Structure 1
Amino acid sequence: MTVDPPSVSAVVIQPTFDDLGRPLLDTTFCVVDLETTGGSPAKGSKITEVGAVKIRGGEVLGEFQTLVNPDESIPAFITVLTGITDQMVIDAPRIDEVLPSFLEFAHGCVLVAHNAPFDTGFLRHAAGELGISWPRFEVLDTAVLARRALLRDEVPNVKLATLAAKFSEVTPDHRALTDARATVDVLHALFERLGSLGVTTFEEVRDFTAAVSPAQRAKRHLADHLPDAPGVYLFRRSDGEVLYVGTSRSLRRRVRSYFTRAETRSRMGEMIALAERVDPVVCATALEAQVRELRLIDEHRPPYNRRSKFPDRQSWIKLTSEPWPRLSIVTRVLDDGADYIGPFRRAAAESAVAALHESFRVRQCTTRFGKVPRRSPCALAELGRCLSPCDGSVDAERYGDEVQRLRDALHGDPAAHVVRHVEDKMTQLAAAERFEDAGAWRDRLAAFLRGSRRSQRLRSLTEQPQLVAAAPHEDGWEIHVVRHGRLAAAGILRRGTATWPWVESLVASAETVTPSHGPCPSGLVEETEAILRWLEQPGVRLIEGSWASPRWSTARHLDRYEVDRSMLAV
């Protein structure tokens, strides 16, 4: 689908910074350490010293250090450990002065600490006691990071003193600023270690520190060959079976996250255990990636994609083409001269048919009649809900008029017949205080309106032999060729490239698409709807062809009948 026209240099897709994450070199960190009177702020322990170092790109931007008067005597064993005495803090500022100054120093930074829950726990507790809103700091724990990045034979434990002896010239001494400086060196050393593993952004570091099983992390190499480009990825077993299909704007970063981030979904953990390789499909645009994902799921039916479990469970409402037409619910659209709307979920299709049968007196029996049927009338005919062609009560012309009104409601504006008729019934039921029954008819009408709107939207695109549309892209324009509702080609027109030769080359190499029948697209319904959503985005321009979303018909009635989508989504 992606095309590189021969007259144009290859298109290079540069993901945005949001897609790639925040590079570690451009992220500002505030490494903090505290000294306290004890181990728990909840049990009354207080802060006695705050030390912090602000760094970015390996350079120190500033330091913060102050003793803190805890307003209580420092225990003797703490003095022995830290060297901080009551005399040293008697003239020091209290926490209500220190904390605002520290928060200003750390503003906009990622907080880093060794055994971070201890330090951040004291700071958050102090903020709560002072009525200060705690900022939503992102926090990185060097102890956890070291535990994930280092092997047992490298360091016996991840205590700060142990790590500093290996990675720093600073010796921790239980004073806040000294320990913070040692933590800075440890952090830089760990970043260098992760860099050799391809971890270069803060988001990747954060994922790396998540709880991941050794077996899961051992498969991280499966992402090494993937590009930082948008596209689709396929997890496969050793025999080539596709286990899972996904899409991302950065294939390598997304796939790597499966092996460096805790996966809470048990089925995905099971999938990762089975996977032996990951195949990429690089795409030019996000729409192409979305479409390819849908097609690959439909082709392979991967067991770990929820959308592939029941891919064929969609229904269409059909107005048959026979001497005495009727409504039926089918799973396929054929080239048989019949009228179709949909697709629906099965329950929604049944509700929609009930609304139509309430509005039009077409037969509901499944018997095949000749041109002059002769049978006994059914109960519906006796109740006046069917024109009763079975016993000759109606001629073909009058029955044909009823069918034509039904056909008009299916393909045009249903207000004159379906909406008005069902609303009258709802009003009668409500007047009789039969509110549940009125609500049931509201739901049936909504099911029909949703399916009718979906059908009209699909038809608006499937009837177009070719559309060429463009949308702004950071490198120029993304161009898509759409034929009969199917994406036939996609590419990026770079700035400075001659437009028409490039577009003509893209169109000439686009996939040939054979039209389908009725509203059913030449491909997956979900693909056509993804294209429709893209076409409706602000800034999209048509280069060739014409298309308009049919908002003038069914859609204008839906606002009054918005109900639980889980029951009536179609």
Structure 2
Amino acid sequence: MPPTRRLRPVWAGETVAPGAVAVQPSLDDVGTPLSDVTFVVVDLETTGGSAVDSSITEIGAVKVRGGEVLGEFQTLVDPGGPVPAYIQVLTGITTSMLVGAPPIEEVLPSFLEFAHGSVLVAHNAPFDVGFLKAAAARTDHAWPGFRVVDTVRLARRVVTRDEAPNHRLGTLAALFHAQVTPNHRALSDARATVDVLHALLGRLAPLGVTHLEDLATASDPVPSDVRRKRTLADHLPDAPGVYLFRGPHDEVLYVGTSTTSLRKRVRSYFTSAEKRGRMVEMVRIAERVDPVVCATPLEARVRELRLIAEHSPRYNRRSRFPERMPWVRLTVEPYPRLSVVRDVRDEEGAAYLGPFTSAGSAQLAVDALHEAYAIRQCARRLPLVPARGASACVLAGLGRCGAPCTGGQTPDDYAQIVELVRSGMLRDPARVVGVHAERIEMLAAQQRYEEAASVRDRLGAFLRGSARAQRLDPIARCAELGAALRLPDGGWELLLVRHGRLAATARVDRLTDPRPVLTTLQATAEHVAPPVAPAPAAHPEETDLVLAWLEQPGVRLVTIDGTWAAPTHSAQATTDPGSAIAAHLERVAGTEAPVADAPGPVGEDAPEAPRRTAMPRTA
């Protein structure tokens, strides 16, 4: 028989196209109908406006289901002190009326039993529920964790200013012709709130709010056409992974990730939690959401990066083009120089910093090296033997260049400077840091703070590029690295990295030996060709994610084919908050020490990666 087409529910006021096949959705798909929900509408009278220094004087509640009143609850409560005069005038509850009334210690258990298993409703719910929670805490009663509906928030969603000047209970009761007029007594106000609740639910039904689960977001200021698309998330699993919003002609509009639950994350796009205008536009044209379930949160983040690079979705604003990330290169020629390039080449003698997020930051790093070393700054290629009639630039006269273009500097003398530059780039940045720190201190002493900030930014760009290259280079050269992280539940998260690229990952429970699983990963993982270091065999952001995972406390190295280490006096060590140089830069002119690049959050739910952690120990 032909497959049955799955249709979304038909809301009130909609028509069904001729020939459409109606499908009865399951309870898991649509949730609990509002007609089957038991509501307890509650109202309190108190001695003041704060639960910290005020007490409850009266509780009134009405239990309803499907429009039928099932029961009522009303009692005065002894607040343990006099009722303020203005409260007596407002509510009519006097101190003498409360003499002999039961204290909250006796009343609260009865109310909790009356409301058991129901959804609490109140007008301005934070006030009433706040007092009830405070009373439960004072009397050592566990708060049951009721679902709460606030009729004020619902009214703001469907009652306009043209209909009512405000959303007070008395105003809404008059608008909806409630059978009871609120008079600041708990039971009367609760009865009026029942009528207001039913009227509001009647207005929300045409907007698709027909089930209990819909009420959680019914008060969100979300357009109705966006809200109705929340059914796109119904089939998604409650697991980590990647989701792809697809539009007409199967176009990938947006790629996102969730490290906990795909269903919950995608549902948030149809609520007021989503503030981005472009996302609302994207949801309007989306036709379906495709999930990609992942074994681990790290795999989800990595897959997101790869899918963004593969599809270039128009609503993603993350970096999609790794080839556009610039590097700083020390060239290979008779008289090497510094240049900004787009790729890393296999050249013996070349040195690289980066990658940088922009050409501007790469140029700042070049300027920092020029400030510390008298390496030539001209862009043309110089011959080993100077051309006849060649003239030196102004930098030679300033002592900032040895003028190899005119023979003012021998190849051997220039090679010594090049080696100093190479060392500063790849191993020890102390000279670059020292020159700039001295310059910052001098400018700060002269109160030239804007110039000092420019020097700081130049140094920061250099240190970030140098630190990133020093982090990427060892992992890019490492043919294979296997690691394991003990999870809180006793299981293990396993990782296999080849040349900085995530080749395989898995998760095992506490009853499973992780070593055979890691062996299987080694046999079945993706083959990764060696890259030209320091560029890894993956998008640099992917390698940053892998490194952040490996640098977590508790990670154990299980197997390694290669060397994973960092220079003792590396740029990253220099920028550590605890280093002497970082502390010195922070003291100077009130500037903050530049820090090494850390991977930013990837996906919507990704946690912030640590800037610097200790190397994991070997298992």
Note if contact 1:32-1:50 (Cα within 8 Å) is conserved in structure 2.
Answer: no
Deviations 1:248-271 (A, max 9, x none): 121112112222445322111111
What is the rounded CA distance, in whole Å, between the counterparts of 1:277 and 1:490 in structure 2? 28
- Which residue number in structure 2 is paired with residue 116 of structure 1? 123
Equivalent position of 1:269 in the other structure: 280
The normalised TM-score by structure 2 is 0.66
The one of 455, 465, 478 aligned to 1:441: 455
Partner of 1:353: helix, strand, or coil? helix
Instruction: Sort the Cα spacing of 1:72 and 1:505 in 2 relative to 1 into closer, same or farther, 3 A.
Output: closer
- Given the alignment of the two structures, is residue 423 of structure 1 paired with residue 432 of structure 2, yes or no? no
Assess if the C-alpha contact under 8 Å between 1:447 and 1:569 holds in 2. no
1:521 pairs with 2:531: no
| Contact 2:209–2:215 (Cα < 8 Å) also in 1 | no
2:613 aligned residue = none
How big is the shift at 1:219?
Answer: 1.3
Match of 2:23 in 1: none
> Residue 313 and residue 207 in structure 1: after superposition, are their counterparts in 2 closer, same or farther (change >3 A)?
farther
Q: Structure 2 regions of 5+ residues with no counterpart?
A: 1-30, 33-37, 64-69, 159-168, 170-178, 576-581, 599-619
Of 293, 296, 315, 1:285 maps to: 296
2:502 aligned counterpart, secondary structure: strand
CA offsets 1:14-42 (integer angstroms, 9 cap, x no match):
xxxxxxxxx99xxxx995622669xx99x
Q: Which residue of 2 aligns with 1:258?
A: 269
Q: Structure 1: how far apart are the matches of 2:222 and 2:593?
A: 36
Structure 2 CA distance, aligned partners of 1:277 and 1:531?
31
Count of equivalent residues: 485
Matches of 1:432 and 1:263, distance apart in 2: 48
- 8 Å CA contact retained: 1:47, 1:70: no
Distance in 1 separating the partners of 2:416 and 2:253? 53
Deviations 1:332-382 (A, max 9, x none): 222233211111232222222111112211111111122212221111112
Tell me which residue corresponds to 1:51.
Answer: 60
Q: How far is 1:538 from its partner?
A: 1.4
Q: Distance in 2 between matches of 1:485 and 1:239?
A: 35
The one-letter code sitting in structure 1 at the alignment partner of 2:97 is: D
Q: How does the TM-score come out when normalised to structure 1?
A: 0.71
- In structure 2, the partner of 1:215 is 225
Find the partner of 1:91 among 78, 82, 97. 97
Distance in structure 1 (CA, Å) of the matches to 2:521 and 2:217: 40
Question: Are the equivalent residues in 1 in contact too, given 2:43–2:122 (CA < 8 A)?
Answer: no
**Relative CO higher for 1 or 2, CA cutoff 8 Å, sep ≥ 6?**
1
- Per-residue CA deviations over 1:440-480 (Å, capped at 9, x if unaligned) read 32332222112111111111211211111111233611111
1:451 pairs, out of 465, 473, 477, with 465
> Which residue number corresponds to residue 230 of structure 1?
240
With over 3 angstroms needed to count, the CA separation of the structure-2 counterparts of 1:569 and 1:460, relative to structure 1, is closer
| Residue matched to 1:15 | none
SS of alignment partner, residue 492 of structure 1: strand
Give the one of 557, 561, 564 matched to 2:574: 557
- Per the alignment, residue 351 of structure 2 pairs with 339
Aligned to 1:242: 252
- 8 Å contact from structure 1 (residues 47, 122) kept in 2: no
Give, in angstroms, the shift of residue 567 of structure 1: 12
Q: For 1:73 and 1:542, locate their aligned partners in 2 and report how far apart those are by CA, in whole Å.
A: 68
Partner of 1:3: none
Structure 2 residue matching 1:413: 3-state secondary structure = coil
> Given the alignment, which residue of 517, 526, 530 partners 1:511?
526
CA distance in 1 between counterparts of 2:553 and 2:362 reads: 33
Q: Which runs of 5+ in 1 are unaligned?
A: 1-22, 55-59, 79-83, 151-159, 161-170
CA distance, structure 2, for counterparts of residue 534 and residue 217 of structure 1 = 37
Task: Provide the rounded CA distance (Å) in 1 between the counterparts of 2:444 and 2:557.
Answer: 48
Aligned to 1:385: 400
1:355 alignment counterpart:
368
Q: Which has the higher mean CA deviation after the structures are superposed, 433-442 or 355-364?
A: 433-442
Residue 516 of structure 1 deviates from its aligned partner by 1.5
Matched residue type, 2:434: R
Q: Could you say what secondary structure the match of 2:249 adopts? A: coil
Over the matched positions of the two proteins, sequence identity in percent amounts to 44
CA shift, 1:531, in A, is 0.8
